[in-house]
Structure 1
Amino acid sequence: MATLYRKYRPQNFKEVVNQNHIKITLENEIKTGKTAHAYLFCGPRGVGKTTMARVIVKTINCLKRKAADSDPCNECEICKDITAGRSLDIIEMDAASHTGVENVRENIIASARVAPSRCKYKVFIIDEAHMLSISAFNALLKIIEEPPAYVMFILCTTEVHKVPTTIISRCQRFDFKRIGVNDIVKKLNYIIKNEGIKIDRSILESIARQSGGHMRDAESLLGQIVAIGGKEITQEEADLVIPRNDLNEVINFIDFLIKKDSASCIKLINKLMDEGMDLKMFLNDLIEILRKIMLTKINPALTQKFGLELGEGLEIKVGEISSGLNLEHLLVVIERFMKARNEIKGSFITQLPVELAAAELCMGVSAPRANPGNNEIRNSKLPARQALAGGEIRNNVPVVNQPIQASSPAGPTAISAANSGKVDQDAVLAKWSEVLIRIKQHNHSLSFILRVCKPIGISNNELTIAFKYKFHKNRVDERAIKDIIEKVLREVYGAPITISAIIDENLEIADNNMPPGNGAVQNDRQAKPAEDGKQENKGQDNLVDSLLKTFGGKVVDSK
């Protein structure tokens, strides 16, 4: 028994679904008698490449075709022989199983030298042509470039990038496209009418969407469903073959989001889970429809070219709900559900990421975005009691109020500078230790870099910082790092301050650049008893003696 896609394979140009850009060109060539000697048909699987090749073969060899007609009669002996695959002059070769150069020489080159027995043209249809070896392609070059007048080549491939350019340049190339949902539904309707089958249009649309634009896949799916359900197909029987994706529920879900009805969103999600629907499939459909609405908002022409075809009924519903979404909100919704889809796998409650996303979007809560220059803020754990015990919160980050020494002579200068909106050099130096402490809360490594720099001047609230080494300057010049420093400067001095970094190879860093706490450690080290120093010297002498004994030599000088 023939499968549906073989039984209903198109037998003329009119029956070929879509591909109008190719059909018009080929029909005009046939009418005017200006057909090429070699064609290259490339495109996705199951869109009509081999079918189109067979239609061309029948048309150019048809005995009853009139000069002004471009379709075969399908009644003469030649047409019947070609349709049944009995014609000796039409050689259809599978390149996947005849890849070698010897097969090309025996089956093509040698056969091309013999004139056709009954047909006007001897035609070679090479399917999956990209599977031929390089040697086989090279053997074909001459015969494809200058074949006998009665020979025609038609190469079909799904991977044209594997075909050598020397072959492509000798052929007329036609690129086949995927077939739209509406066109596939029309063809499936034609089939079920001829077969006497009752099936709902929504099921046919589901088949068309599931096929991904490949007609042969759609006809195969329909054949599977018919084998299960017989002459009357129900949705339950179709769900056994097609993974369930109820787009009506997806549209209802979007409608609940627009109405800010988080309870209905969560109920719908759990209902679908109870019914056994794959949540990832649901999110795939949701993101596809949201993308379609986004393309429509940006430019309606984009929807026709790149958007998912949903079928007539669903297109109307999507158009009705899309008016309640603006583009900015739409981008947030798409991004949030893409994140939820990736989180499903690691969630011990499968539907929880989707429920959280729906609740956040309905309540107007958006997840905080990561700041690329602020990783330490996310990873650090600031004690909450510090913020409560006299600290303050700035930009969602607890900041501890550092004690300012009352003995600082430049304190009044810093306060007056902050009030005036301009900061001078004395004010910068007065609070530079506080700057280093606050920088450490944002970026621990950055605080060490700023300890080896020196503020050398400020003009029009642009602070110039000198570094001794270039890699320190390059680090500070990074946009994310510069943003952190300028933010802290604005917090400390109460005025917007920008920074510029320079290199000074003669720079000497004073000890007062170190923040409070480090000085005490340094003083402790300097205050060690002299006896400790003597013990260290004694230990070093013993080490030198052991090295001399092991490797030989003598001490020339000791400093």
Structure 2
Amino acid sequence: MESLAIRHRPKGFERVAGQGHAVEFLSQLIIEGQICRNILLYGAIGSGKTTLARIYAKALTCEQQPFPGGSPCLDCKSCRDIGAGEATNFHELDAPSYENFVQLKSKIDSLALGASKGWRRVIFIDEAQSLARYPQSFDYLLKKVEEPNEGISYCFATTAFEKISPALRSRLHCLEIRPLILPDCIKYLERIAEAENIKTSPDALALIAALGDGQPRNMLHVLEVVSRNADVTVDRVRQIYNFGYTEILTRYFIALGQGDFRRQTEIFFQWNEDAREKVRLIQVLMLSLYYKELCGLSLTIDPVIASMAPSDRAQIITAFRERLKEANLKSFWEGLIQAWPVITSDLSEESLFILITDFQRRVSAASEIVEHVPPEGPFFSPTEAAWRPPVDKMTTRQQRRGGRSEVGKDPRYLTYDQVKDLFNAASFLTQEYGCQFNIRVTVRSRLFGCDTKSEVSKLLSGFAHAFTDRLNKWIGHSHWLCVQEFEDGAVCSRIIAVGPQPDSREFKMMQKWFSNWRKNERTAGQEEQAITADLTSTQKSARKMKSHWDSVRWLCAGMNPAEPIYKRLVLPKSRQAGDLGSKRRRHSASESLTPSGMADAMQHEMEPLSAFDDEAWDHLYNGWELQEFHDRQKEKGQRQADIHAISRKYPRGDQEQDEKRKREYGELLKSWPDRYRRPRSWYAWHPPDEVD
């Protein structure tokens, strides 16, 4: 008998769960005329990448289109052949199964040449990340994608997006196949259970969703295991999968509540689990207890943690209350959460042990701190003195901020507002696009023989336009910031940009272009100094955004050193930017980083965070934007899917339907949390009005 995953594999776009953004894009291609596009589907194992590729291929070659929703008809010869694995217009190539790239190349060439004129063919390359073993493979595929044979559509699937070359990615429509959010997981599993006559409960399905990491195939495998000869209950799932760590977590947190440092340490180090996973589970339980027990919110952070017995959770809270007596436990808990640093992937196991030891020390010392901290302000009664760090060690926003005072505008330097704009644009770049600046460029007008302001303006604006066009051609997008300064008595442009990767063909093309741009206009003997470019990023520095922020600081080194935040920004040695005159613009940006360009990316109330604006200086350079990028993409996808669902629910053209749609839009808009309270995988700082 076929497995649940095979029996319930979606055959049409309308049956694909939780991937509204990808489904909408692919189905629209079919609806608009079975349009061929080259696609990259990326996501975890079992997320549904292959299923979507097959649906798209069937719909693209379906003989009965147009069909409702762009889905394949499943009845024509083409659809039946693909379903039976006998198609000549859809070919699945498992990249790792080929012994070498020559074999795979030969296969692709034969399929491309064998395509019939006026007929469509989809070449699907699965596990595409394995092609990274062959340096020439991506250059070959790049040419295939850029100059495809008529009617050929290339579709790639990968579990490692970062291993696909940036150049190839820039030529593909990249669609992330995301894990289903918990409500979608439960609806999906309920639908399957109903079709299979399996008795379930929402709590049990939430556990199954957690075990399957929100991936459809994985969840169906778990459902199949736990439903054999039994109803699916929470106890049944826990019995089969033995969540032993919840019992360990209970004992650990009771020891925390009792302030027993020795017992905490014994339990932590006897716990047979990866250190990073142990820290993650501790953080998850902290949040779960905070929301449910202390705030009274029915919010599921992790279904397995949420399934812990109420008596165990009550024991933990009781242990803390008995030790802290009259203290405000909720505020104490908030202090603990705020004290946690961002856990990055490059932290060593030893560093994690240091973090957990410091955490245990803080919790165990809490009763002593509570005794010495008086009630503060009108928010706490005399019996509700919250735990807080000792006053002389507090890191409040008032102490972190630079204490900016009015500084007279000096035309020789960058102003506070100009530097703020540059920092915010640099932070937005990574939050929205996941990119980092990796190239610094200086263009010197004096070495191009420019004597007048008009000549200088024409030269520098010409370079900006030409550089933008080249970046779009090399990597498919253009992101840069520019500051104009005086150097050796003449105006120069200092630019930081997102450029090609150093080991790519495009990077070599860029270097050559820098050397040749208007070469005949350059001062003889100083041609190479007219435009200088430095690569700043390495793989290690990119993980922490170190080189990104080094580049931003380099760009802002012309800030007035009299500004109070000058030292806080840790800028390089100060240099005078020079007086450009009142009519010349000091700084500029690519369209994506201008105020209007950034506003376009903030649709659906997706405003970015700004550590600079909020004066959260301890977060300024710690690389939180990398995690925010992934969280932001998920939230944007969900909001777009919600809007699309309302549009489908209320067709346009009917006044009553239009009113209902507008009303539901308004309710949806009100339900969206603001920038500080959006769902995140990391701990953001508090809004300024909640800290000061």
Provide TM-score, normalisation by structure 1. Answer: 0.49
Q: Which has the higher Rg, Structure 1 or Structure 2? A: 1
Higher relative contact order (CA 8 A, sep 6+): 2
TM-score by length of 2: 0.41
